[in-house]
Amino acid sequence: MLRVYHLLFGAILLVLMPLGVKFVLPYFSTTRVEKPNPVTTATPSISPQTTPSITPDQVEENIWKKILGEIATPNGWQVAPCPGNAPLLCVSSKGEILGTVEIGVYPVKNNPDFQKNLMVAGIPLSSKVDYQSPKYQTQVSQALRDWVADLYATLAKDRQTSYGNKIVFSAYPPQQSSVGKLQGISYGFIGLKQEGGVQEQHIGHVAFDGTRLYVINTAFDPGSVTGKFEKLENLAIFQPYLSAIAANLKLPI
C-alpha cells in the first residue's frame, strides 16, 4: 500500500509542476531567488550551500557499508552502498543508477556553530550522552532545529544573491525523525520556477550522537554533482523510503 500511495503522489506532483507546485506547498516560507551557478567540488558532496562548512570525518571506506540496516525499496528498485570510498548510497533500477544519497559525519569539536546550538539548548559540549532522558532528547531536538534554522537562513541568503527573483525558494518545516536510535530532524527545501516547474528540491535528515553530527542528503538539482536524482519523479517516489532507511540505520556506531 505504501508503494502505491507514493507512486500516486509522484504522479500528482508531476501534474502539478507546470502550475509551479504552489498548491502542494502551502506551509513553506517564500523567499524569492534566481537560478544558481553550478558548483563543482574536489570531493563528492551535495551542493556546498546545503551542508555544513566543516570538513567531515575522513574514512577509509564507504560508511554506508557499516551503518546500513534493513532496506525498504519501491518495486523493482535496489539500494546498496556505492562502489569506492565516497560516502554514497546508490539507488538503481534494472542496472541503471537513478540517484545517490550522501552522508556527512562532522565532529562537533570542529564545529563551533553547532557547539553554540548545543549550549543554547542547555547541552555543554562535555556533557554525558543520555539517550533515555526525555529532557536530553528535547534539548537535542532543539539544538538540531536551531542548526536547521541556521542552514535555512544561509540558504535563503545564498539563493537570493544567486537567483534574483526568477525562482521562489521555500523551506520545509523541520520535523522530528529517527536516524537509527538517534533523535533526528528531517528538513528540506524547494526552488520553484516562476514559469512553472521545479528548479531544485533537497531533502535530508540530521542527527547528533554526542560527539558527531550526521547529515544525510539527496536532491533533484542540476547544479549538484553527487547526492542527487536525475529525475524529480524518482526523488518523489524515493522520499518516504529514505525516511525508513534513516530510521533503520545502525547508529550510533
Instruction: Judge contact between 219 and 50, C-beta under 8 A.
Output: yes
- How much of the chain, in percent, has pLDDT values that exceed 70? 77
For residue range 35-62, list pLDDT tens digits in order: 333 332 233 333 434 555 455 656 679 9
Cis before 252 (ω within 30): yes
The CA distance from 206 to 55, in Å, is 16
pLDDT band at 162 (very low <50, low <70, confident <90, very high): confident
For residue range 140-151, list pLDDT tens digits in order: 999 999 999 999
The CA distance from 221 to 201, in Å, is 6
Mean of all residue pLDDT scores within the chain = 82
pTM value is 0.78
Nine-digit cell string for 228: 542527487
For residue range 113-137, list pLDDT tens digits in order: 999 999 999 999 888 888 889 999 9
pLDDT of 51 reads 53
Q: What is the helix, strand, coil percentage profile of the chain, to 5?
A: 35, 25, 40
